[in-house]
């Protein structure tokens, strides 16, 4: 996927696992989010007690729905699971398999993203050469216990000043505060509870899509819809 297509795919990036679906079936929430217009889905089934067999079956079902909608399907952390699920890529953290090693296993045609939350982590990521960066937490978040302190949109702007890689902001983002993340230089927003925890995930996704696209248009971005 070239950079322009990846920037567009990152616009509204839904990160979801069973623990963040408000007690509803994960597949039901993903289907609603896809109807609402999310542009990428990350399968993050790490906070549940599902056996591996069930995790694989659920991941395959999510992958199928994503492909039906033409939306990239990414697996969190685990390159082995990404390969099992024939995912479009993987997203790794600073303590996971480095992007350079993940790419050796996945092959050159798949997406590799990496999380950055400090200038030092950005230095590591830029040496590793991922396809995109997940920057945050931008705002305070309760969806990831080890996310660290909120960095604010200033950190998004700092990362943008250091690289032209596609960027997605993550952490505490909602339709109400998404616009400043895009204005700071992010190509999109990644959310967990803003969609997964919403009473109407489809409407929540639609609201995020509207806000992101409106801000991109205001900034004159070429991938604005």
pLDDT at 140: 87
Predicted TM-score of the model (pTM)? 0.95
Catalytic-residue membership of 210: no
Q: Tokens at residue 91, please?
A: 């997203």
DSSP count for the chain of H helices, then E strands = 10, 8
| Percent of the chain clearing pLDDT 90 (strictly above) | 87
Give me the chain's average pLDDT, please. Answer: 94
Task: State the Cα–Cα distance between residues 51 and 61, nearest whole angstrom.
Answer: 16
Instruction: Select which of 44, 63, 78, 216 is catalytic.
Output: 44
According to DSSP, residue 19 is labeled G
**pLDDT tens across 109-149, in order?**
999 999 999 999 999 999 999 999 999 999 987 665 555 68
Task: State the Cα–Cα distance between residues 127 and 122, nearest whole angstrom.
Answer: 9
Picking from 20-34, 53-67, 172-186, 211-225, which range would have the lowest pLDDT averaged per residue? 211-225
Catalytic-residue membership of 225: no
The answer on pLDDT for 171 being more than 60 is: yes
The answer on pLDDT for 35 being more than 80 is: yes
Query: What CATH number was assigned to the domain covering residues 3-218?
Result: 3.20.20.70
Pairing of strands 188-191, 132-135: unpaired
Instruction: Select which of 115, 143, 193, 216 is catalytic.
Output: 115
Residues whose CB is less than 8 angstroms from the CB of residue 89 and which lie 6 or more positions away in sequence, other chains included? 72, 74, 75, 82, 106, 110, 111, 112, 113, 131
The answer on pLDDT for 48 being more than 80 is: no
Instruction: Select which of 7, 144, 193, 216 is catalytic.
Output: 144
Which of 96 and 145 is assigned the larger pLDDT? 96
pLDDT at 50: 84
Residue ranges of domains in the chain: 3-218
Catalytic-residue membership of 144: yes
């Amino acid at each position: 996927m070239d950079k322009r297509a990846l920037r567009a795919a990152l616009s509204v990036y839904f990160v979801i696992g069973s623990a963040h679906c408000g007690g509803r079936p994960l597949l039901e929430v993903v289907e609603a989010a896809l109807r609402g217009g999310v542009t990428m889905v990350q399968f993050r089934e790490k906070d549940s007690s599902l056996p591996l067999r069930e995790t694989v079956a659920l991941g395959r079902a999510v992958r199928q729905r994503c492909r039906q909608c033409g939306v990239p399907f990414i697996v969190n952390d685990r390159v082995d699971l990404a390969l099992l699920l024939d995912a479009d890529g993987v997203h790794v953290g600073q303590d996971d398999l480095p992007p350079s090693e993940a790419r050796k296993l996945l092959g050159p045609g798949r997406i590799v993203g990496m999380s950055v939350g400090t200038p030092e982590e950005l230095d590591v990521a830029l040496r590793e050469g991922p396809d995109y960066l997940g920057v945050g937490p931008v705002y305070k978040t309760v969806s990831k216990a080890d996310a660290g302190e909120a960095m604010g949109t200033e950190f998004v702007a700092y990362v943008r000043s250091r690289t032209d890689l596609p960027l997605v902001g993550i952490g505490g983002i909602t339709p109400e505060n998404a616009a400043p993340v895009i204005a700071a230089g992010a190509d999109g927003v990644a959310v967990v509870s803003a969609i997964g925890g919403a009473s109407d995930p489809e409407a929540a996704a639609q609201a995020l899509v509207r806000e992101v696209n409106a801000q991109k248009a205001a900034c004159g971005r070429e991938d604005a819809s």
